[in-house]
Amino acid sequence: MIPTSSLRIKTASGWFAAGREWQRALVKLSDGAFKLFVYTSLNARRATGCLRFRQQELARALGKSRRSIGAYLKELEEKQLCRVCLSPNQYLAGILQICEEYWPYCLAEAADSLASFRDEQARYVEAVEALFLSRPCVRSRFSSADRKLAGQWFENGLDLALVEQAILVGCGRKYVSYLNSFQGEPIGSLHYFVPVLEEISKFDLSSEYQSFNRSQVERLEKQWLASRDLPVGNSKPASACEKFAQAKTQKQGETR
Q: What is the pLDDT of residue 249?
A: 54
pLDDT, greater one: 111 or 16: 16
CATH number assigned to the domain comprising residue 24: 1.10.10.10
Q: What is the pLDDT of residues 218-250, one digit of tens each?
A: 999 999 888 877 555 544 444 455 445 555 555
**Which of 88, 105, 122 represents a domain boundary (last residue)?**
105
- pLDDT on residue 189: 94
Q: Which residue range forms the structural domain that includes residue 163?
A: 110-255
Q: How many distinct structural domains can be found in the chain?
A: 2
- The pLDDT of residue 238 is 41
CA dist 173 and 133 (Å) reads 16
Q: Which of 105, 120, 155 is the last residue of a domain?
A: 105
pTM as predicted: 0.53
